[in-house]
Amino acid sequence: MAVKVGDTAPDFTLPSQNGTPVSLQDFRGKPLVLYFYPKDDTPGCTTQSCAFRDQYEVFKTAGAEVIGVSGDSPESHQKFAAKYQLPFTLLSDKGDQVRKQYGATTAFGLIPGRVTYVIDNQGVVQYVFDSMFNFKGHVEEALKTLQQLQTA
């Protein structure tokens, strides 16, 4: 069953690109943008991740953290983050267990989908954006949602 707006985001612990375990609960008390993407260093995923990178200071100013998740290894994430100077954490979801826990879609039943969740400081999902091909839309929609949360 897919996680939807109003649900409490399921907790998890995954290794980061540095091999350090990271849990969702580590971010309680601040908004979080959690984005699932198919694969490191592919054209669409690079465009999406670099769009998050380019707006990262805006996310930080809004008090939010950004985390990317894919099934790639921590080593792959480390190379991807270094190559594109990604300032945020990438998590390795080997076997796509967290992706499945969130109900993040797959494209064509084969390729891991591209889904972004905006989670508020209480751990409640405030927005879900699911689009395989609107790479920059994930960033734009997450920023809009964070701005709405700030004014609410």
Active-site annotation, residues: 45
Report whether 63 contacts 30 (CB < 8 A). yes
Listed residue (36, 108, 94) closest to 68, CA to CA:
36
CA 124 to chain centre: 15
Which candidate, 63, 89, 65, 61, places its Cα nearest to that of 77?
89
Alpha-carbon separation of residue 11 from 4, 24, 26, 86, 116 (angstroms): 15, 5, 10, 24, 16
**Dist. CA 40–CA 122, nearest whole Å:** 30
